[in-house]
């Protein structure tokens, strides 16, 4: 099933700082809820392991994340696909854009994802809410990281 | 009528054990050393399997084996089959793609099994299943049957170009077209018969055990027809020779068709049990049931009805696309053809009918028989068309029906069936009286004062049950005969065991079959036991589906009882030193005609076994007879259901406020059980009409895959039913029974939708008619009305 989500976050840090943090695996690892591993395999690729729970389905996703459309320091597209074993799979991506605003940076994101297997079967009513919460958690932590 | 004989509302014998938790279902059977199986299933609707790595799973605690399709193929275990051959209109045979019990190469629906883990406990098997690494290359999927044949659609199976299994037709196309050309009025409808998930209360289960010493396999499973399961697993899957395989279907908690079929899981449990040398048990979780039990219905239809100026039907033309899912299930090919097209004449004298059905593959769970199986789909087409035609022509809907009813029997329809008995006017008349149709106008005005739109809808349905004459179905492509068997064993003490090929999974056979024996032999109801569901006990039988157990299964018992009576008379003649022809049998007593000599049933039974009164040359000892009964025709239960609804004009929420059902089931053995079957059938039909819908997204993910998103009917969705019976006996079986198991589910959907569309004044309501669907139809109708004004 398909899922879309858009949002924006106002960050206090300048655009260059935000861009740099967006490309720092340690920062991303600290911010992604349930992230156990995030290893850079090239300048634009990561291997990731993350555990997430959506309704009755708990899944440990293993997957690859890659960055495309790199436009420093204005934005990129981050895409990935994760295999959650018996829980199913998720794949998709987000375009992230940075603009100067009110002395800080406005980050806007646009997510398109597809999920399948048990996640789609059992969790579909909960997926949008769960995804929004994951995004909110991520940006709350990310805002704190950029303020460091 | 005795208190326990035919026609008595005897309480169900079996309910004591069911409601006190003493039932023995497959999952309750525990064998020494039993292991548990968990299947690894595809999360993709369609994907190529690049590799399967079982090494991590094999090293998990408690794991005994992890098996894949490659090993299944190595062991030369055959594919599952569809047992009813359908030919396309060009004469070519249906395109049956291979259906291995574990997928190899490609998975074709979400839930397709790719591997099985066998472990000491279910928890260990589940944990290990999570560690089986399947590398998939996802491929585009086709989920929508209406798009499966489109140019450029993903081809699912090589053998079936354009995803088309067959293009079948029935009737005379030319004559039908000619009748349409002469018509004064043509009613046209686009119909979707929504896809349903069966949801029997007991999930499917299988337990297999291998006896290496005897080289013999035993399977306990949730089956409506254990002998057919054994035959298919032996002869087609090639698991073991038929005499080396015993299939036991113990208590089964509901089937509704979904437990007729031979599924991958039972095959795999048998195979795995022999491989690991220990019993292997699998019980579906509810979410697995959603993804693996054969679904029902799923038709997309365009239908047209031609009438003359007086509302007399001239012809019917139907074009249907039937979704059979990713693989052809056991009887799937017959449902949208010979159980659908043949019923399109309804209760009406229709001179010409032409029906075309394209069956298609999609990347969805296989689709097969579900309560009514083809007949609900046919009834929905006919009863919606007739209702809409009446509204369009300004004729009262029951009046248009009356003008077209078949009134003399036998009646040969243009679509194979020969109706042998019925009185459709009688059931319509009685239903209209019981429903107080005359008072409907007053009730409608009263509802309007409360902001409610009240509507009335009719469904004068017919179905073909008692399936079926073997020669007839054989000529139509069936791979099996559809007779039934019975064995009546009279014990030396006069108690009776009946072994039947029918299978009970909620129908109450232990009660109704015992009523028949009690009445016929004049012995206490308690002295009769019904044995079923075990291939080692019961001679070959065809099982229970298509409302056949009364009409066919009980007829076989009648035939065996005839033989018992004849033999017992011989014994009684020797006992009383009289001529066999002078022996009369009545109310459990044998008398010599014109004398006061008599012998009780129990004495005759004992004498049959002690054999002191006759020599072995004169008469064989014992009192046990068998019969195989093949019916002479289908039976044709029919009736009239009238539904009244109130639609909330602001929200579209529909409440069913009155329901009247008058059915002609022929002879009724137990009116309480018949009433229960009617109640359950209506509830399932209302479920289809208002609530249930299996929804796949365009990627082939089942997004209504749990009870959070798939709504089953509940008590509060239903009114208290008003139920009546009319009776014309079926001439095609000795008891005059027609069958009652599916009628409610067949009649109900059209009655509900006819009522809703009457209430809101728009025909554009798809099933399930949820509040949002009805509200949207109301809005569209309002917009159209305003535009017209």
Tokens of A63: 């997957």
Residues B534 and B637 in one domain: no
Q: What is the pLDDT of residues B162-176, one digit of tens each?
A: 999 999 999 999 999
Question: Is B145's pLDDT higher than 70?
Answer: yes
d(CA B154, CA B138): 12
Contact B79, B124 (CB under 8 A): no
CB contact under 8 A, A116 and B45: yes
Domain contains B691 = yes
Domain contains B529 = yes
Exposed, middle or buried: residue B499 (CB in 10 Å: 0-12, 13-18, 19+)? buried
Alpha-carbon gap: B130 to the closest alpha carbon of chain A (Å)? 6
CB contact under 8 A, B701 and A116: yes
- Whats the size of chain A, residue-wise? 148
Q: Chain A residues with CB-CB distance to B under 8 A?
A: 1-2, 85-86, 88-89, 114-118, 120-122, 124-125
Amino acid A86: pLDDT: 82
Residues B612 and B678 in one domain: no
Chain A CB contacts of B286 below 8 Å: none
Quick one: average pLDDT of B246-269?
A: 97
Q: Which domain, by its residues, includes B206?
A: 31-139+201-254+259-292
Query: How confident is residue B785, by pLDDT bands cut at 50, 70 and 90?
Result: confident
| CB-closest option in B40, B42, B703 to A1 | B703
B477 Rama class: left (phi>0) / alpha (psi -120 to 50) / beta? left
Residues B494 and B604 in one domain: yes
Query: How confident is residue B115, by pLDDT bands cut at 50, 70 and 90?
Result: very high
| CB-closest option in A1, A2, A121 to B291 | A121
Question: Is A1's pLDDT higher than 80?
Answer: no
Q: B629, B662, B693 — which closes off a domain?
A: B629
Q: What is the pLDDT of residues B685-736, one digit of tens each?
A: 999 999 999 999 999 999 999 998 999 999 999 999 999 999 999 999 999 9
Nearest CA in chain B to A126: B708
| CB-closest option in B291, B701, B709 to A125 | B709
d(CA B438, CA B442): 9
* DSSP string of B25-66, one letter each residue: BGGG---TT-EEEEEEE-SSSSEEEEEEE-HHHHTSTTEEEE
| Phi/psi of residue B514, nearest 5 degrees | -70, -35
Query: How many distinct helices (H) and strands (E) make up chain B?
Result: 19, 28
Residues B224 and B313 in one domain: no
CB contact under 8 A, A120 and B129: no
d(CA A140, CA A132): 12
Chain B CB contacts of A116 below 8 Å: 43-45, 110, 699, 701
Q: What is the pLDDT of residues B194-224, one digit of tens each?
A: 999 999 999 999 999 999 999 999 999 999 9
d(CA B113, CA A67): 34
Q: B612, B629, B646 — which closes off a domain?
A: B629
Question: Is A125's pLDDT higher than 80?
Answer: no
Contact A93, A82 (CB under 8 A): no
Residues B454 and B535 in one domain: no
- Mutation for B interface: A112, A121, A126, A127, most B CBs within 10 A: A121
Domain contains B273 = yes
Amino acid B730: pLDDT: 97
B732, B735, B738, B744: CA torsion to nearest 10: -170
Closest listed residue to residue A92, CA positions, set A122, A63, A126, A59: A63
| CB-closest option in B43, B290, B697 to A89 | B43
Contact B675, B261 (CB under 8 A): no
Amino acid B1: pLDDT: 62
Question: Is A43's pLDDT higher than 90?
Answer: no
Alpha-carbon gap: A130 to the closest alpha carbon of chain B (Å)? 16
Tokens of B195: 């896809």
- Mutation for B interface: A60, A62, A81, A86, most B CBs within 10 A: A86
Chain A CB contacts of B131 below 8 Å: 85
Residue matched to tokens 């003359």: B308
Q: B629, B646, B663 — which closes off a domain?
A: B629
- The percentage of chain B sitting over the pLDDT mark of 90, rounded to a whole number, equals 98
The CATH number that applies at residue B236 is: 3.90.1170.50
Tokens of B578: 């009289």
CB contact under 8 A, A121 and B110: yes
Nearest CA in chain B to A120: B703
Count the domains in chain B. Answer: 3
SS3 category, B761: coil
Chain A CB contacts of B705 below 8 Å: 120-122, 124
Tokens of B567: 């033999």
Contact B267, B233 (CB under 8 A): yes
Chain B CB contacts of A117 below 8 Å: 42-44, 110, 701
CB contact under 8 A, B290 and A116: no
- Mutation for A interface: B38, B43, B707, most A CBs within 10 A: B43
Q: What is the pLDDT of residues B288-331, one digit of tens each?
A: 999 999 999 999 999 999 999 999 999 999 999 999 999 999 99
d(CA B676, CA A103): 74
Closest listed residue to residue B257, CA positions, set B208, B221, B294: B294
Residues B520 and B576 in one domain: yes
Question: Is B638's pLDDT higher than 80?
Answer: yes
Residues B362 and B421 in one domain: yes
Nearest CA in chain B to A115: B701
Amino acid B261: pLDDT: 97
Nearest CA in chain B to A114: B699
Closest listed residue to residue B262, CA positions, set B270, B273, B254, B251: B270
Tokens of A81: 């696909």
* DSSP string of A48-95, one letter each residue: EEEEEEETTEEEEEEEEEEEEEEETTTEEEEEEEEE-GGG-EEEEEEE
Quick one: average pLDDT of B10-17?
A: 96
Q: What is the pLDDT of residues B472-519, one digit of tens each?
A: 999 999 999 999 999 999 999 999 999 999 999 999 999 999 999 999
Domain contains B524 = yes
Alpha-carbon gap: A109 to the closest alpha carbon of chain B (Å)? 25
Tokens of A56: 């009755």
Chain A CB contacts of B116 below 8 Å: none
Amino acid A144: pLDDT: 92
Q: Chain B residues with CB-CB distance to A under 8 A?
A: 40-45, 110, 126, 129-131, 287, 290-291, 697, 699, 701-703, 705-706, 708-709
Tokens of B227: 């002998």
Contact B395, B175 (CB under 8 A): no
Domain contains B501 = yes
CB contact under 8 A, A118 and B287: yes
CA angle B514, B520, B522 (to 5 degrees): 90
Q: What is the CA radius of gyration of chain A?
A: 15
Nearest CA in chain B to A91: B138
Q: What is the pLDDT of residues B549-558, one digit of tens each?
A: 999 999 999 9
Question: Is B620's pLDDT higher than 90?
Answer: yes
CB contact under 8 A, A114 and B699: yes
Nearest CA in chain B to A124: B703
d(CA B261, CA B331): 7
Question: H or E segment at A38?
Answer: strand A35-42
The CATH number that applies at residue B739 is: 3.30.365.10
Alpha-carbon gap: B103 to the closest alpha carbon of chain A (Å)? 16
- The percentage of chain A sitting over the pLDDT mark of 70, rounded to a whole number, equals 100
d(CA B254, CA B256): 6
Residues B522 and B406 in one domain: no
CA angle B618, B622, B623 (to 5 degrees): 110
d(CA B557, CA B554): 5
Nearest CA in chain B to A89: B43
* Residue A79 neighbours by CB under 8 Å, 6+ apart: A65, A66, A67, A68, A91, A92, A93, A94
Quick one: average pLDDT of B572-577?
A: 97
Q: What is the pLDDT of residues B655-697, one digit of tens each?
A: 999 999 999 999 999 999 999 999 999 999 999 999 999 999 9
Question: H or E segment at B424?
Answer: helix B424-434
Quick one: average pLDDT of A65-71?
A: 93
State the pairing for strand pair B185-193/B299-307: antiparallel
Query: How many distinct helices (H) and strands (E) make up chain A?
Result: 3, 7
CB contact under 8 A, B697 and A88: no
Domain contains B374 = yes
Nearest CA in chain A to B129: A86
Nearest CA in chain B to A116: B43
Quick one: average pLDDT of B259-286?
A: 98
| Phi/psi of residue B715, nearest 5 degrees | -55, -40
Closest listed residue to residue B348, CA positions, set B421, B415, B403: B403
Q: Which structural domains are found in chain A, ordered by start? A: 2-147 (3.30.530.20)
Predicted ipTM of the assembly: 0.86
| Phi/psi of residue B293, nearest 5 degrees | -65, 135
| Phi/psi of residue B91, nearest 5 degrees | 95, -10
CA distances from B697 to A130, B109, B141, B363, B364 (A): 20, 12, 10, 11, 10
Question: H or E segment at B516?
Answer: helix B509-521
Domain contains B26 = no
d(CA B599, CA B603): 6
Q: In what order do the strands lie in the sheet with A89-101?
A: A2-11, A104-116, A89-101, A75-83, A57-71, A45-54, A35-42
Average pLDDT across chain B, whole number: 97
Domain contains B8 = no
Residues B454 and B561 in one domain: no
Closest listed residue to residue B366, CA positions, set B463, B268, B454, B291: B291
Residues B238 and B116 in one domain: yes
User: End-to-end alpha-carbon separation of chain A, Å?
Assistant: 38
Tokens of B484: 């039934």
Residues B100 and B228 in one domain: yes
Residues B373 and B351 in one domain: yes
Nearest CA in chain A to B700: A1
Question: Is B419's pLDDT higher than 90?
Answer: yes
Amino acid A148: pLDDT: 81
- The percentage of chain B sitting over the pLDDT mark of 70, rounded to a whole number, equals 100
| CB-closest option in B130, B131, B703 to A124 | B703
Q: What is the DSSP letter of B149?
A: T
């Amino acid at each position: 099933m398909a899922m879309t989500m858009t949002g924006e976050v106002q960050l206090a840090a300048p655009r260059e700082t935000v861009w740099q943090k967006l490309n720092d695996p340690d920062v991303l690892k600290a911010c992604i809820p349930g992230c156990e591993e995030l290893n850079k395999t090239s300048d634009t690729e990561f291997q990731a392991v993350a555990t997430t729970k959506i309704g009755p389905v708990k899944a440990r996703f293993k997957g690859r994340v890659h960055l495309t459309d790199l436009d420093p320091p204005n934005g990129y597209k981050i895409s990935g696909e994760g295999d959650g074993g018996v829980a199913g799979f998720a794949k998709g991506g987000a375009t992230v854009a940075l603009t100067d605003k009110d002395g800080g940076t406005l980050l806007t994101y646009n997510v398109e994802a597809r999920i399948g297997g048990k996640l789609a079967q059992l969790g579909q009513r909960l997926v949008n809410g769960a995804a929004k919460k994951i995004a909110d958690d991520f940006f709350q932590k990310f805002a704190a990281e950029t303020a460091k | 009528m005795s208190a326990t004989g035919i026609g008595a509302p005897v309480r169900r014998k079996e309910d004591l054990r069911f409601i006190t938790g003493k039932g023995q279902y497959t999952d309750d059977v525990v064998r020494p050393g039993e292991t548990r199986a968990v299947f690894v299933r595809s999360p993709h609707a369609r994907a190529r399997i690049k590799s399967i790595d079982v090494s991590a799973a094999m090293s998990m605690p408690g794991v005994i084996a992890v098996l894949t399709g490659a090993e299944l193929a190595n062991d030369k275990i055959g594919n599952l089959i569809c047992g009813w051959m359908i030919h396309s209109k060009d004469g070519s045979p249906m395109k049956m793609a291979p259906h291995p019990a574990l997928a190899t190469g490609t998975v074709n629906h979400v839930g397709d099994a790719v591997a099985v883990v066998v472990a000491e406990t279910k928890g260990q098997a589940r944990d290990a299943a999570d560690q089986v690494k399947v590398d998939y290359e996802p491929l585009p999927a086709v989920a929508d049957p209406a798009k499966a044949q489109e140019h450029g659609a993903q081809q699912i199976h090589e053998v079936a170009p354009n995803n088309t299994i067959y293009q079948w037709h029935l009737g005379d196309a030319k004559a039908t077209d000619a009748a349409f050309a002469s018509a004064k009025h043509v009613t046209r409808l686009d119909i979707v018969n929504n896809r349903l998930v069966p949801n029997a209360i007991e999930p499917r289960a299988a337990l297999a055990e291998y006896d290496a010493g005897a080289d013999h396999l035993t399977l306990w499973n949730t089956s409506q027809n254990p002998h057919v399961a054994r035959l298919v697993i032996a002869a087609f899957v090639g698991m073991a020779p038929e005499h080396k395989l015993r299939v036991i279907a113990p208590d089964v908690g509901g089937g509704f068709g979904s437990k007729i079929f031979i599924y991958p899981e039972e095959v795999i449990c048998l195979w795995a049990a022999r491989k690991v040398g220990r019993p292997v048990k699998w019980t579906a979780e509810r979410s697995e049931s959603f993804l693996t039990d054969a679904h029902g219905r799923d038709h997309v239809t365009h239908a047209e009805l031609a009438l003359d100026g007086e509302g007399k039907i001239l012809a019917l033309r139907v074009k249907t696309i039937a979704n059979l899912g990713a693989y052809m299930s056991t009887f799937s090919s017959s449902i949208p053809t010979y159980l659908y097209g043949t019923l399109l004449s309804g209760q009406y004298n229709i001179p010409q009918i032409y029906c075309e059905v394209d069956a298609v593959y999609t990347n969805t769970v296989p689709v097969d028989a579900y309560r009514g199986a083809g007949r609900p789909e046919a009834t929905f087409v006919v009863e919606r068309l007739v209702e809409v035609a009446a509204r369009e022509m300004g004729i009262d809907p029951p009046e248009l029906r009356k003008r077209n009813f078949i009134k003399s029997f036998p009646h040969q329809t243009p679509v194979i069936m020969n109706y042998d008995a019925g009185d459709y006017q009688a059931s319509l008349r009685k239903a209209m009286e019981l429903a107080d149709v005359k008072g409907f106008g007053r009730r409608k005005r009263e509802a309007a004062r409360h902001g409610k739109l009240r509507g009335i809808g009719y469904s004068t349905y017919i179905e073909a049950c008692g399936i079926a004459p073997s020669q007839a179905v054989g000529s139509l492509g069936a791979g099996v005969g559809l007779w039934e068997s019975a064995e009546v064993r009279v014990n030396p003490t006069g108690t009776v065991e009946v072994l039947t090929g029918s299978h009970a999974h909620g129908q109450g056979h232990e009660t109704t079959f015992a009523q028949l024996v009690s009445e016929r032999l004049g012995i206490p109801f308690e002295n009769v036991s019904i044995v079923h569901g075990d291939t080692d006990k019961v001679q070959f039988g065809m099982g229970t589906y298509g409302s056949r157990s009364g009409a066919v299964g009980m007829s076989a018992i009648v035939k065996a009882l005839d033989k018992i009576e004849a033999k017992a008379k011989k014994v009684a003649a020797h006992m009383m030193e009289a001529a066999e022809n002078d022996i009369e049998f009545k109310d459990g007593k044998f008398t010599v005609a014109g004398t006061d000599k008599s012998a009780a049933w129990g004495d005759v039974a004992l004498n049959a076994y002690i054999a002191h009164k006759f020599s072995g040359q004169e008469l064989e000892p014992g009192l046990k007879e068998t019969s195989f009964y093949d019916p002479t025709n289908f039976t044709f239960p029919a009736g009239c259901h009238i539904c009244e609804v109130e639609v909330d004009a602001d929200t579209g929420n529909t409440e069913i406020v009155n329901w009247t059902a008058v059915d002609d089931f022929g002879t009724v053995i137990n009116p309480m059980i018949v009433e229960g079957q009617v109640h359950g059938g209506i509830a399932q039909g209302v479920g289809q009409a208002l609530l249930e819908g299996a929804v796949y997204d365009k990627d082939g993910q089942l997004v209504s895959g749990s009870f959070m998103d798939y709504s089953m009917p509940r008590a509060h969705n239903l009114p208290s039913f008003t139920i009546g019976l009319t009776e014309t006996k079926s001439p095609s079986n000795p008891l005059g029974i027609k069958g009652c198991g599916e009628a409610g589910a067949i009649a109900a959907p059209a009655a509900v939708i006819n009522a809703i569309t009457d209430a809101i004044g728009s025909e554009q309501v798809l099933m399930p008619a949820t509040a949002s669907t009805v509200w949207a139809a109301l809005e569209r109708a309002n917009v159209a009305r305003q535009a017209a004004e």
